[in-house]
Structure 1
Amino acid sequence: MDEVLAELAAMAADGTKSTRSGSKPSLAGAALRKAIMAIWCLCFCGMQWRAIGQLCDIPFNTLFTLFARWTRLGLWCRLLDRLRRTWRLACGDNAEPSAVVIDSRSCRSAPSCFERGFDGGKKINGIKVHLGVEKHGIPLAIDVTPANVHDTKGIVPVLRELAGQGFRGSALGDLGYRGKRLAKAGQKLGITVKPSARGCDGKFLPTGICWVVERSFSWIANYRRLNTIFERTKEHLVAFIEIAFVYILSRRIKRLIAEEASA
């Protein structure tokens, strides 16, 4: 919560208007902190907007409007990038990675979801989340497609987002990312796609840092709203994934500060 408030203050200093204009006053103080906690509970517990509004005594349309505005302004993406760089520097690494790990995960979705497709391999009717993570498992790029989109096509927007951030290096993936078309697309963006086998006889074999993306998917599986997808826009689903990793990083950094203070 403190990290979100700090990022909101930074956005206000940058001239980004994070609050709406109108006759009603914007949320501030304890009400703003309660709204931030309600949005996190929505992601973690998988509650409905109306239910969380009744529990926190804030109209659900106010909460949803606040969440949608912050998502549109890129609050969660900015906060995740800042915390990721802070964590990497605290671990003794460079702020930006030299290699990323790419993978996807199919999730069931409701009929009201923004997109839907059937994954014949996993027998899942829903969407597919594509991640590009660094060695600590924190995503640098996220994209969502219907579950029937092949990995070699669904990962291209992730590679474009990585290239837009200035990343030039290797993208490590499983054998599902083989193919000359994907390799050429990566070369045009300055990214080398390196597929490798991660299993043998049905058993998972960790290869280098390729296993970290599997751990990232297991982390977000703890958030109920990210198990069965109900979001009606792709941007809101990506925002909830970013919120989950913001919470994970915030806890890590807070624990690290406490350990340094006690040492």
Structure 2
Amino acid sequence: MAPASSRGTGRTGWLRVDRLVPRHRRCGRRAGEKGGSLTGPSPVDRGKPGSKIHVLSEGAGLPLVVGVSAANTNDAYALKPLVKAIPAIRSRRGPCRRKPGKLHADKAYDHADLRAWVHRRGIQVRIARKGIDTSEKLGRHRWVIERTISWLTGYRRLTIRYERNANHFLAFLTLAATLTCFKKLRKTTT
């Protein structure tokens, strides 16, 4: 934080009136000049800072694995770590099941090497293909993961990222996934 000015009260604070300057003046552009925006950078800018939540859920929407990545990275990089992190599911008889039967994903995960990698693990691939499949076909399955993400972002701590450390944010995300599973499974058993 900048040192206090001689005009102020002599202490540093959050609101410094002498430091408040309109955005277009700070950027060296006048309001309305081409290239200058009074609302800030574009929200769809691919170079934006921030984080992205990745969730792998089962068919009913219970989160099995969660992850956090930078907002400006491709979603496809998160698929392998999420699939590898699927916990073993205890069955009534036989060995523990470590892989799902099918994997549904949207067009962001449409890469030939990812399809081959998932297929080699013995999982049926249901990834929408860019330019071929429509969103209507995948929409029957996509709403499940969208609902799961809305359950997780229902916790105030995850709506806006307050933590600087990604490990802390991931810990809160994991806690939210655990609480979500507990609440949903408690409803089904009672």
- 1:119–1:125 Cα contact (<8 Å) kept: no
Judging by fraction of residues, say which structure has more strand. 1
Greater RCO, 1 or 2 (C-alpha within 8 Å, sep 6+): 1
Give the match for residue 167 of structure 2: 235
**Match 1:218 to one of 150, 154, 167:** 150
**Match 1:120 to one of 45, 61, 85:** 45
Q: What residue identity is the alignment partner of 1:212?
A: V
Offset at residue 126 of structure 1 (A): 0.5
The 1:217–1:151 alpha-carbon spacing in structure 2 relative to 1, beyond 3 Å, is: same
Matching of residue 161 in structure 1 with residue 54 in structure 2:
no
Judging by fraction of residues, say which structure has more helix. 1
CA distance in 1, matches of 2:153, 2:182: 18
Aligned residues: CA RMSD: 2.8
CA distance in 1, matches of 2:84, 2:184: 29
Matching of residue 199 in structure 1 with residue 135 in structure 2:
yes
- 1:129–1:143 Cα contact (<8 Å) kept: yes
Name the SS for the 1:132 alignment partner.
strand
- 2:100–2:123 Cα contact (<8 Å) kept: yes
Give the match for residue 64 of structure 2: 140
Q: What residue identity is the alignment partner of 1:120?
A: D
- 1:169–1:192 Cα contact (<8 Å) kept: yes
**Match 1:187 to one of 119, 133, 156:** 119
The 1:250–1:152 alpha-carbon spacing in structure 2 relative to 1, beyond 3 Å, is: closer
Identical amino acids, percent of aligned pairs: 26
Q: What residue identity is the alignment partner of 1:141?
A: V
Per-residue CA deviations over 1:159-189 (Å, capped at 9, x if unaligned) read: 2213x64114321011121121211222343
The 1:216–1:131 alpha-carbon spacing in structure 2 relative to 1, beyond 3 Å, is: same
The 1:230–1:211 alpha-carbon spacing in structure 2 relative to 1, beyond 3 Å, is: same
Query: Aligned residues, how many?
Result: 135
CA distance in 2, matches of 1:209, 1:182: 19
The 1:256–1:211 alpha-carbon spacing in structure 2 relative to 1, beyond 3 Å, is: closer
CA distance in 1, matches of 2:168, 2:121: 27
Q: What residue identity is the alignment partner of 2:66?
A: I
Q: Which runs of 5+ in 1 are unaligned?
A: 1-117
Counterparts in 2 of 1:7-46, with a 5 A limit?
Answer: none
For normalisation by structure 2, the TM-score amounts to: 0.58
For normalisation by structure 1, the TM-score amounts to: 0.44
Matching of residue 171 in structure 1 with residue 103 in structure 2:
yes
The 1:192–1:236 alpha-carbon spacing in structure 2 relative to 1, beyond 3 Å, is: farther
The 1:206–1:156 alpha-carbon spacing in structure 2 relative to 1, beyond 3 Å, is: closer
Name the SS for the 2:66 alignment partner.
strand
The 1:142–1:247 alpha-carbon spacing in structure 2 relative to 1, beyond 3 Å, is: closer
Per-residue CA deviations over 1:169-226 (Å, capped at 9, x if unaligned) read: 32101112112121122234333432135636xxxx7633331000011112211211
Name the SS for the 2:82 alignment partner.
helix
- 1:160–1:189 Cα contact (<8 Å) kept: no
